[in-house]
Structure 1
Amino acid sequence: MKLIVNTSPFRLEQGYDLGYGPSVYDTMAEVILAFQNPNEDILFSYANWDTELDPHKDYFIQESACSFHFGIIHDPDQAIAQKVKEVLWHHYEPKCEPKSNMALLDELMTQFKETPFTELNEELIRKIGTTVHEMQTIYALEDRDEKTQSFVNHRLVDTTSTWPLSNDRPVNLKNILWYRANTKEEILRSFDLTDWWFTCAIVTRNTTVENFNYFLDYTEEHGEEHDGMVLYITASKKMHFKDTVLPRLIGLLGDKLEVVG
């Protein structure tokens, strides 16, 4: 595991040394807290997306229809399957009430699954793909369950429209919600409810996100020189990082950490 400090931003290249998914939650929460000082807030980001502006929507619709047809959609309570049955009914019997004949609904589903995908009606594929895609895909916080919405909204500090990362602003970005998670318990809850591939800003309390002290972007990369998880660290005061945060990270990660640069 390498911490490269002669680049901008700094790079904490972890690979999979600390684990992946839930197994890394605890350590990454401690890593984030190593950047926080008194009178500072840790603000996590939650991006809301515009479904109508999604440049890949047509592809996702096609893939959703194909995945459902081949039975590789996660649908434990059969809610998606029931909606697809209704789509099939309205496609073939648009003037009838689908719940009036459950046996026919099952028959239509069987016929759909047994027909080769390439032989299905294109309009029907799009209808089914749209239904499956909309039920599976989360574009905005309002698509989440109530406990996730409550967790974010009760801690909400700011809403911005600027894109904080180095790559180009996605065309379908609506806005970014910034919510406070100052304790280890709150950080772990954020990982569990939203995403452990996080971006967060450490800011002096009552200042804007744009005036961050640290900005952290945790993601996964695959390449010849590095494979696995990496934490990008943007520091507004590099000497503070080297004098204060770096010793904390060394104390936390110990012999696993190699500092380069």
Structure 2
Amino acid sequence: MKLLMNTSPFRLEQGYELGFGPSVFDTMAEVILAFRAPWQDILFSYTNWDREFDPHRENLIKDSVHFFHADMIYDPNQTICLRVKEILLHHYAPGSDLRANEALMDQMLARFREVPLDELDDELLRKIGTAVHEMNSFYMLEDRDEATQTFVKNRLVETTSSTWLYPFERPVNLKNQLWYRANTKEEILQSFELTSWMFACVIVNRNARVEDYCYLLDYTEEHGDEHDGMVLYMSAKWPELFKDDVLPKLQILLGDKLEIIK
């Protein structure tokens, strides 16, 4: 595991040494807390996306119909299946009563999955792919379950639509970002579980705006020739303070696994 301090922002290249997914939750929560002083807040970002401007929308629609056809879509309440059955009935038997044709719709769905995709009608596939994608994707906080919405809304500090903190280009389909407070380890772990463990957060002095952050942390996965795996980008407003205050905590937390490159 390497901490590159000769780059801006700093990079903590973890690979998969700490694990992947839930196995890293506890350690990453401790890493985040190492940046926070008692008078500061940790504000996590929840991004709302504009569905219509998603540059990957067409590919996602194609993927959705492919995965549904292969019965690989998580659908515990069968709501997606029911919607697809309705589309199939309207396509093959327009004007039919849904309630009177449940057995027929079951047969249509079974037949749909038996026939190769390239033998099915393109318009039908697009309708099904669009429906599955829209029902199985999260663009807005409102698309999430009630527990996630409540968690974010109860901790909401600031909503930004024009502020963009990252070094890469702002995505065209970004609607706004919700910044919510999670200062304790328990709250951070809950945030990972409810929203995403590939997170972005800022450490700010209490009541400061997000753009006036002391630290910006961005946790992501990268694949390349020089590095493969998880990376934590760390932007520090005062790099010397990071070296004096945060770095010793990270060294204790990560121990001999950590190699520092200056």
TM-score of the superposed pair, with normalisation by structure 1: 0.97
Partner of 2:102: 102
Q: Distance in 1 between matches of 2:68 and 2:218?
A: 34
Q: Distance in 2 between matches of 1:19 and 1:65?
A: 32
Partner of 1:235: 236
Q: CA deviation at 1:33?
A: 0.3
Residue deviations 1:136-157 (CA, integer Å, cap 9, x gap): 1110100000000000000000
User: Match of 1:188, as an amino acid?
Assistant: L
Partner of 1:144: 144
User: Match of 1:152, as an amino acid?
Assistant: V
Q: Distance in 2 between matches of 1:7 and 1:61?
A: 38
Residue deviations 1:198-237 (CA, integer Å, cap 9, x gap): 0000000001000000000001111121111110000000
Please say if 1:184 is aligned against 2:203. Answer: no
Partner of 2:214: 213
Partner of 2:174: 173
Q: Distance in 1 between matches of 2:153 and 2:191?
A: 12
In structure 1, the gaps of 5 or more residues are: none
Partner of 2:82: 82
SS in 2 for 1:165: coil
SS in 2 for 1:98: coil
Q: Distance in 2 between matches of 1:19 and 1:215?
A: 23
Q: CA deviation at 1:9?
A: 0.5
Please say if 1:253 is aligned against 2:243. Answer: no
Q: CA deviation at 1:176?
A: 0.3
User: Match of 1:11, as an amino acid?
Assistant: R
Partner of 1:18: 18
Q: Distance in 2 between matches of 1:109 and 1:31?
A: 48
Q: CA deviation at 1:6?
A: 1.3
Q: CA deviation at 1:19?
A: 1.0
Please say if 1:113 is aligned against 2:113. Answer: yes
Q: CA deviation at 1:167?
A: 1.4
In structure 2, the gaps of 5 or more residues are: none
Q: Distance in 2 between matches of 1:217 and 1:47?
A: 13
Q: CA deviation at 1:258?
A: 1.1
Residue deviations 1:1-40 (CA, integer Å, cap 9, x gap): 1111111100111111111111110010000000001210
TM-score of the superposed pair, with normalisation by structure 2: 0.97
Question: Superposition pairs for residues 54-93 of structure 1, below 5 Å?
Answer: 54-93=54-93
Q: Distance in 2 between matches of 1:70 and 1:21?
A: 25
Partner of 2:40: 40
User: Match of 2:146, as an amino acid?
Assistant: E
Q: CA deviation at 1:181?
A: 0.3
Partner of 2:50: 50
Please say if 1:7 is aligned against 2:7. Answer: yes
Once structures 1 and 2 are overlaid, which stretch shifts more, 201-210 or 56-65? 56-65
Partner of 1:159: 159
Q: CA deviation at 1:103?
A: 1.3
Q: Distance in 2 between matches of 1:44 and 1:29?
A: 12
Q: Distance in 1 between matches of 2:114 and 2:30?
A: 52
Q: CA deviation at 1:115?
A: 2.0
Partner of 1:29: 29
Q: CA deviation at 1:243?
A: 0.6
SS in 2 for 1:59: helix
Q: CA deviation at 1:123?
A: 1.1
Identity %: 63
Q: Distance in 1 between matches of 2:172 and 2:182?
A: 28
User: Match of 1:252, as an amino acid?
Assistant: L
Q: Distance in 1 between matches of 2:211 and 2:222?
A: 26
Q: Distance in 2 between matches of 1:188 and 1:38?
A: 19
